[in-house]
A and B are shown apart, each in its own frame.
Chain A
Amino acid sequence: MAGKVIVLTSGKGGVGKTTSAAAIAGGLALRGHRTVVIDFDVGLRNLDLIMGCERRVVFDFINVINGDAKLNQALIKDKRNDNLFIFPTSQTRDKDALKRDGVERVLEELKDSFDYIVCDSPAGIEHGALTAMYFADSAIIVTNPEVSSVRDSDRIIGLLASKSRRAEFNLEPVAVHLLLARYSPERVRKGEMLTVEDVKEILSIPLLGVIPESESVLRASNTGTPIVFDEESPAGRAYHDAVARFLGEQRELRFLQPERRSFFRALFGRA
């Protein structure tokens, strides 16, 4: 088995990288692919919370990089899906602990037993983010429909084209996809947010999906359940669509129009 390395990155913080990494990894696992999701945000560990496994962390990514623990001691198996594993990071160390040769060794080992290795990048364009993207085969650029997020994404796409291993060794370039998160059709309609077309036009990379802004995402994060396990929520379904497109399926974009509020819902003032 030769697993593919996917990095979720954005430049800007707070756009939904970790939520998306958890959702994409969960979505791939639900479709039967053996998937591991790695937290590269050393020192600001969050993925374990989003995945709901924070009380099961013993060893972490940095322990394995340093050879203090074996891979199978650090990998945490998801309770909801047998194909899904979580590889938490250290909360006490900093990004300098991400040594490139150590990361490479761990990724190579993971490639033997997983179909997909999903890397949750830290924000910024410093060592942590550069290390997370360096070994990527594909990248999913998580962007919000606002100008600063789009500009940072543009910068990250430039870095992927120049600073990744594939770029340095003149291999086939990293396949770059756009995931537009926290999209609020209502605010787009009012002209407060960029439209899908605006963002696509500026970044000119293929669109993997549009995730509607939704309270269910916050709820999912706080309960430690990746949003793809919520079959009801539009955001969960939008992530499923994105995973399907990532795997090569054609699917129509959904959730681009403001939700129609029914008379009764409007009456009770709830969406």
Chain B
Amino acid sequence: MAGNLVQGAVFTVMVVRAGMLRDPAFESELAEQIRRSPRFFLNAPVVLDLKDAAEFIHEAEFAEAREVLRRHTLSLIGVQNAAPAQLAAAASAGLASFAPNAPQPNRRPPREATSNAVAMPAAATKTRLVTQPVRSGTQIYARGADLVVTAAVSPGAEIIADGNIHVYGPLRGRALAGAGGDVDARIFCSRLEAELVSIAGRYLVSEQLPPEQQGFPVQIALVDERLTVTRN
């Protein structure tokens, strides 16, 4: 039974470098970013990266950081790269400690590291699958995942994914892949008739899409910062 008490899951969490909080322009830039996609940032979890920020050692500073982010609808949930003293202060501010970004996330952590932690199965992020037509006025967001649609996406519909987007049908609405900033994300569709396509914030509207690709199965990728459409 005990094994069922804790389940593992993998989440995408935004990381804010602690040093950035000291930048006077930080708040206005953050506000601008959030204004562009408020839904994406609403109550989104944030981890504070303490690398090169040894000056963060008081509990009050962590509480203040939490307040700043709260003002922008973000929720500070923990820290990473914390020195032992920082860890204690962060813990008393109610923040969790996250492991630093692993260079090879697929490799299992060494046995010693897990000995005093609960062993969590490494759950793969599940692809979001949509089998019904996505109708005008509907928005679907695959947070931290790929999105696969096996039906048509109507004009006036919006599909968004932090990962790749696959549409096995005509794509007539808007498709935004790599919404979390992943420049390697791609959009695949069996018929390009989109109103707008976007990867990691770079976008093309219908008029800008190459007319010779309209109506064909294509994939869209970011190459040298430019959105390129190639026939599949």
Contact = CB atoms under 8 A, between A and B. Distances in A.
Interface of A: 151-152, 154-155, 157-159, 161-162, 202, 204
B137 A158 contact: yes
Contacts of B53: none
Given A161-B135, A204-B133, A154 B151 contact: no
Interface in B9-46: none
Contacts of B132: 161
Nearest to A158: B135
21 contacts: A151-B154, A151-B155, A152-B136, A154-B136, A154-B137, A154-B154, A154-B156, A155-B136, A155-B137, A155-B156, A157-B133, A158-B136, A158-B137, A158-B138, A158-B157, A159-B137, A161-B132, A202-B152, A202-B154, A204-B133, A204-B152
Interface string B142-161: 00000000011011110000
Q: Report which residue of B137, B155, B156, B157 has the largest number of chain A beta carbons within 10 angstroms of its beta carbon.
A: B137
B136 A204 contact: no
Interface of B: 132-133, 135-138, 151-152, 154-157, 172
Contacts, number: 33
Nearest to B173: A154
B94 to A, nearest CB: 37
B149 to A, nearest CB: 13
Nearest to B152: A204
A216 to B, nearest CB: 33
A162 B135 CA distance: 11
Leading 3 A-B pairs by shortest Cβ distance: A158-B135, A154-B136, A155-B136
Q: Report which residue of B133, B135, B151, B157 has the largest number of chain A beta carbons within 10 angstroms of its beta carbon.
A: B135
Given A204-B133, A204-B151, 15 more contacts: A151-B154, A151-B155, A151-B156, A152-B136, A154-B135, A154-B155, A155-B135, A155-B136, A155-B156, A157-B133, A158-B136, A158-B138, A159-B137, A161-B135, A204-B152
A126 B94 CA distance: 45
A155 B139 CA distance: 12
Nearest to A159: B137
Q: Report which residue of B132, B133, B152, B156 has the largest number of chain A beta carbons within 10 angstroms of its beta carbon.
A: B133
Q: Report which residue of B132, B136, B152 has the largest number of chain A beta carbons within 10 angstroms of its beta carbon.
A: B136
A219 to B, nearest CB: 34
Contacts of B154: 151, 154, 158, 202
Contacts of A159: 137
A152 B137 CA distance: 9
A159 B156 CA distance: 13
A217 B138 CA distance: 35
Nearest to B135: A158
A154 B156 CA distance: 9
B136 to A, nearest CB: 4
Contacts of A162: 138
A166 to B, nearest CB: 14
A161 B135 CA distance: 10
Nearest to B156: A151
A157 B157 CA distance: 12
Nearest to B155: A151
A112 to B, nearest CB: 34
Nearest to A152: B136
Nearest to B132: A161
A155 B155 CA distance: 10
Q: Report which residue of A154, A158, A161, A162 has the largest number of chain B beta carbons within 10 angstroms of its beta carbon.
A: A154
Contacts of B133: 157, 204
A154 B138 CA distance: 10
A158 B138 CA distance: 7
A158 B133 CA distance: 9
A10 to B, nearest CB: 13
Nearest to B137: A155
Nearest to A125: B137
